[in-house]
Amino acid sequence: MTIKRRDFINLSGIALTAGIITGFNSLDENQKKETVTSDTILKPMTDDVVPITVAEREERIKKAQRLLTENNMQALVLDAGTGLKYFTGINWWPSERTMLAIIPAKGDIKYICPAFEEDRLREQIIIGKKVYAWQEDESPYQLIVSAFKDSGITTGNIAIEEQTRFFIADGIRKEASHLNYVSGDPVTVACRKIKSPAEIKLMQKANDITLAAIKHSVSLLKEGMTQNDLSAMIMSAQKQLGGNPEFALCLFGKSSAFPHGSKHPEVLKKGDIVLMDCGCLVEGYNSDITRTIVFGAEPSKRQQEIWSLEKQALIAGFAAAKIGEPCGAVDAAARKVLTDAGLGPEYKLPGLPHRTGHGIGLDGHEWGNMLKGNKELLEPGMCFSIEPTISIVGEFGVRLEDCVYMTEDGPKWFSQPSKSINEPFG
C-alpha cells in the first residue's frame, strides 16, 4: 500500500549548526574533539550496495505467474508505482498518461505507454520486449485489450494491483466489459511481503544510513533551533551518506505527544524532549527509525520513567514476534506493558494511540501490520516496525522505533535499540 509519509513536513533550510545533546558535557576533551562539527563532510556508505538483479526480478515474475494460475487469474495489471518497480525494475512517475505493465499467467510481460515516451521506457526495460504505444489522441485501453488478446486472454479474471488508479481500472473495464476484474492482492501481496536476502541487505543499508544521519545531526543540536532546522539537517545527512532522503519528522517538547506532529512551531530549549522519526531509500527500499532524547539537561524523573516504559514495550513486542504467531501478538505484548503501568487502555490517552508496527519494504508502510486482532501469521522474510509510542498530550511523547526482519530463528533488528535515554545509539 502506497502511503507517502510525513509529506506535510516543511523541510526548509539546509544550514548545519553546532550544539550539545544530553550527556555531551560529560564527555572528556578527547571525545569532544572526535565529535562531528557543522562543516563535517559525511562519506557515502553505499559503495558495497548490490542492486536487485535481473535474475531475481525474473523469479518474481515467475512466482506471480504461478500465483495467477493458482488463483484462476489470467493476467496482472501493474500501474506506475512500487509494484511496477518490484517486478520490472522500472521507475515511472504516475502521470495522467497511462503507462503500465501486464504480466500474463502465461507468456511474456507486456508494456503500454505513451508513444512519445516509448524510447525512454525502452531504456529502462530489462525484462520483456513488447511495447504497445498510444498517441495522444488515441485510447490506451484499446491497446491494453489488444495486449490481453495477444496473450490469449479473451475471458476470465484480470487481477488489478492495488496501486492502480481508478481511471485506469475503469477505462480497462469499459473497453473490455466481457472480462472480470478482481483484486491482485493474492499475487502481489504474497510476493512482496516476503523479502529476499538481497532486499533485506538493501533495507539494512538504508537503516544504517538513517541511524548514522540521526547520530550526526543530534551532535549538532543547538538551543533556539526549530524542528524544521533539525529535519533539514537529518535529510541532508542521509543524502550525504548515500541514501535518498525520504522523511525526517522532528518534534520538540509538547509537540512530541502528537505522533505526526502539531501545527504549532517549537523552538528547542534545554530539557526538551526531542523526537526524531526518519527514513531514507536505498535502491528504493525504506528505512524507518525513531529516537527520543532529552536535550541539554539531565532527564527529569518523569521523562526517565516514560522513556524506560517505552523501551520495555519495544522489547516486549520484539519478544512476541515468533514464527507462526499472529501479527496481533506483537501489538498485544507491547500494549500490555503500557496498560499494566496504568496507561490506556486500548487507544486511549495517555497511552499508545495507534498500532504497534507496520510492514515495510519498497513502500514505507506495507502489509503485515502489528495490529490488534491481526491473525496473519509471522513468516521468515517479513519485515516490520516496532514503535509503541507513549503519547501524553500537554506534556510530551516518547517513541522508540526499530524495524525487524523475521528469520527461521525469530526476529532480527535492522537497527539496535537505544540502550538508555542518555545512550540513544548504543
Kindly report, residue by residue over 77-88, the tens digit of the pLDDT: 999 999 999 999
- Please tell me the distance from the alpha carbon of residue 221 to that of residue 268, in angstroms, as a whole number: 9
Query: Quick check: 15 pLDDT over 90?
Result: no
* Phi, psi (degrees; rounded to nearest 5) at 197: -55, -35
Q: How far is CA 234 from CA 12, 21, 202, 266, 383, in A?
A: 12, 15, 20, 17, 24
Q: What is the mean pLDDT of the chain?
A: 92
Find all residues with CB under 8 Å of 169, minimum gap 6, and list them: 77, 160, 181
Q: How far is CA 10 from CA 229, 244, 262, in A?
A: 10, 17, 12
Burial of 77 (0-12, 13-18, 19+ CB in 10 A): buried
- Gyration radius from the chain CA atoms: 24
- Please tell me the distance from the alpha carbon of residue 58 to that of residue 125, in angstroms, as a whole number: 12
Quick one: pLDDT at residue 1?
A: 45
Q: What is the DSSP pairing of strand 366-370 with strand 357-359?
A: antiparallel
- Please tell me the distance from the alpha carbon of residue 190 to that of residue 185, in angstroms, as a whole number: 7
- Please tell me the distance from the alpha carbon of residue 158 to that of residue 101, in angstroms, as a whole number: 13
> Among 394, 417, 420, which residue's Cα sits nearest to residue 304?
420
- Please tell me the distance from the alpha carbon of residue 212 to that of residue 236, in angstroms, as a whole number: 12
Say how many Å lie between the first and final Cα of the chain, rounded. Answer: 33
Query: Quick check: 38 pLDDT over 90?
Result: no
- Please tell me the distance from the alpha carbon of residue 227 to that of residue 212, in angstroms, as a whole number: 19
Query: What is the tens place of the pLDDT at every residue in 189-205?
Result: 999 999 999 999 999 99
Q: Is 18 left (phi over 0), alpha (psi -120 to 50) or beta?
A: beta
Quick one: pLDDT at residue 294?
A: 98
**Residue type, position 234, single letter:** I
Q: How far is CA 405 from CA 48, 136, 261, 333, 370, in A?
A: 21, 45, 28, 18, 13
- Please tell me the distance from the alpha carbon of residue 183 to that of residue 162, in angstroms, as a whole number: 7
- What is the average pLDDT across 369-387? 98
- What is the average pLDDT across 22-33? 36
Model pTM above 0.85 = yes
Q: Confidence band (pLDDT; 50, 70, 90) for 32?
A: very low
Instruction: Please report which helix (H) or strand (E) contains residue 280, including its range.
Output: strand 273-282
Query: What is the tens place of the pLDDT at every residue in 386-417?
Result: 999 999 999 999 999 999 999 999 999 999 99
- What is the average pLDDT across 353-380? 98
Question: Strand, helix or coil at 212?
Answer: helix
- Please tell me the distance from the alpha carbon of residue 31 to that of residue 339, in angstroms, as a whole number: 41
- What is the average pLDDT across 375-385? 98
Quick one: pLDDT at residue 426?
A: 75
Query: What is the tens place of the pLDDT at every residue in 211-251?
Result: 999 999 999 999 999 999 999 999 999 999 999 999 999 99
- What is the average pLDDT across 128-156? 97
Quick one: pLDDT at residue 10?
A: 34
